[in-house]
Amino acid sequence: MGESYLVVDNLKFAYEGLFNPEEIYNIVTNLFYERDWIWYEKMNQEEVTPSGRQIRMILKPFIFATRYYQLGVQIRIHMINLKEVEVEHGGKTFRLHHGVLRITYSGEVISDRKKEWTKKPLFWFLSIIFEKYFFSDRKEKYSTKVKETIDDLSTLIKNYLNTYKYTYSH
Amino acid sequence: MVETDLAVDAKELRYKGIFKIDELFKIINKSAEARGYSKNEKRSEEVVTEAGRRVFLELRLKKEVGSGAFLSIKMRITLDSLTEKIELISGQKRNVNRGDVLIIFDGWLETKYEDRYHLAPIRFFLKGLINKYVYPILPEGKYKSEVTTDIRFIESEILKSLKVYRHGDEESKRISEKIVQKEIEDDISKSMRHDV
């Protein structure tokens, strides 16, 4: 395996209030399916305790950007003390969950995904030189793509939860 | 591994009253960009309660100032008891937020001097000695004062925008821009005295 460049380092989001866990899961899966990412669910664990349901998920979708580069995102979702509640709004009754939602995002760009350039020291040296001085714009391009994907996902989740959003642009 | 040097330690900005959350974020973005910082969101939290929302946001602003030297500002923004209201500002009805604002600034000088020639023990010792007792020959001192100035600038821009809302209601409509400016200057001079 080649080098792994960390682009987004543990961006954290937390929310406490009403939400629907299935919809959160659907938002995440839909975004990656729409963009043709390969879905990999590393962990999906649910525990029922007297204080509520505890759900823990580790999702690691990835995409082969080129023959050389691979982009990867890691989303850790932790839902704590989920309790089912009925909420009346506009004369209708909605069945929702109340609890704490914690999401941590990480993103990386992996080079030499086929391990073709790490077999011999000379190849490895050449790959680093080319990456650093000749094709540095490509790494930048894929880093931006990973950042954008995480930003889009984060915005979608914030929109769904109707939280206040900080945006980099103004 | 980077060497970090704390320049501003937990400088607080407090405000209670009406403001607009989008405009607050806009001002932060604009002032950070004006000083050449890149923005990075690190953490965001929101708790919804009956009394209102509690929003927490952590931003990391970064700027490269020299070869291997960076200025880093950590902003921890807490908006407590946040509610939405319609208020009369400058004779116009506007949808605003009411709540408590607490912004904590930390300023750092980060250097990546590891394995460079002046980190050899004897050179490092001599550098420190000359820098402290003879003459500040190295630019670290300048960088540290730059991050302090940048934080003051961002703080004053935020205060300026918040005070517009405070004085924007009908009662104090006559308070001119000059008075607002004077209040900000007073605040800054007070904080400078506190820093000293």
**What string of DSSP letters covers chain B?**
--EEEEEEEEEEEEEEEEE-HHHHHHHHHHHHHHTT-EEEEEEEEEEEETTEEEEEEEEEEEEEEETTEEEEEEEEEEEEEEEEEEEEETTEEEEEEEEEEEEEEEEEEEE--TTSGGGSHHHHHHHHHIIIII---STHHHHHHHHHHHHHHHHHHHHHHHHHHHT-SSTTTT--HHHHHHHHHHHHHHHHHHH-
Q: Which residues contact B176 (CB under 8 A, 6 or more apart)?
A: none
Among B27, B38, B45, most A C-beta atoms within 10 A, so best to mutate, is: B45
Give the one of A18, A161, A170 whose C-beta lies nearest to B26's C-beta.
A170
The encoded tokens of residue B148 equal: 């302090």
Report the domain count for chain B: 1
On the question of pLDDT at A106 being above 50, the answer is yes
pLDDT, average across residues A150-154: 93
User: Residue B84's closest chain A neighbor by CA?
Assistant: A164
* pLDDT score recorded for residue B144: 82
User: Among partner residues B26, B29, B46, which is closest to A164 by beta-carbon distance?
Assistant: B46
ipTM over 0.90: no
Spans of chain B below 50 pLDDT: 170-173
For A165, which residue in chain B has the nearest alpha carbon? B22
Residues of chain A neighbouring B76 (CB-CB closer than 8 A) = none
pLDDT at residue A74, as a whole number: 96
Nearest residue in chain A measured CA to CA from B47 = A16
What is the Cα A34 distance to its own chain's centre? 14
Between β-strands A52-59 and A4-19, what pairing exists: parallel, antiparallel or unpaired?
unpaired
Secondary structure element (H or E) that encloses residue A153, with its range: helix A136-161
Please write the tens of the pLDDT for every residue from B54-92.
999 999 999 998 877 889 999 999 999 888 888 776 677
**Average pLDDT of the segment spanning A23-42:** 94
**Which residues in A lie closer than 8 A to residue B55 (C-beta atoms)?**
163-164
Q: What is the pLDDT of residue B129?
A: 84
Closest Cβ opposite residue A13 in set B44, B53, B79 = B44
Measured in angstroms, the CA of A125 and the nearest CA of chain B are apart by 22
Which pLDDT band holds residue A169 (cuts at 50, 70, 90)?
low
Please state which of the ranges A7-11, A120-124, B122-126 shows the lowest mean pLDDT. B122-126
The tokens of A40 are what? 């990999």
Q: Which residue of B has its CA nearest to A154?
A: B44
- Which of B30, B44, B82 lies at the smallest CB-CB distance from A170? B30
CB contact under 8 A, A14 and B45: yes
Interface test with A, best of B41, B77, B80 (most A CBs within 10 A): B41
Q: Please state the separation of Cα B133 from the chain's center in Å.
A: 31
- Chain A residues in contact with B21 (beta carbon < 8 A): 164
State the residue range of the domain holding B100: 3-195
From A15, A166, A169, residue closest to B41, measured CB to CB? A166
B56: Cβ–Cβ under 8 A, 6 or more apart, which residues? A14, B43, B44, B45, B46, B76, B77, B78, B79
Alpha-carbon span B63 to A32, nearest angstrom? 33
Higher pLDDT, A94 or A78: A78
B47 and A170: CB-CB below 8 Å? no
Q: What is the pLDDT of residue B196?
A: 53
Residues of B within 8 A of A166 (CB-CB) are 25, 41, 44, 57, 59
Query: pLDDT for A39-91, tens place per residue?
Result: 999 999 999 999 999 999 999 999 999 888 999 999 999 999 999 988 887 78
- Residues 96-125 on A with a CB inside 8 Å of B are none
Give the lowest-confidence range in A93-107, A109-123, B115-129.
Answer: B115-129
Predicted local distance difference test score (pLDDT) of residue B177? 60
Q: In terms of pLDDT, which residue wins out, B171 or A154? A: A154
Contact criterion met (CB < 8 Å) for A163 and B44 = yes
By CB neighbour count within 10 A (0-12 exposed, 13-18 middle, 19+ buried), where does B118 fall?
exposed
Q: What number is the average pLDDT over the span A87-96?
A: 82
pLDDT for B191 equals 67
Which chain B residues are within 8 Å of A17, Cβ to Cβ?
46-48
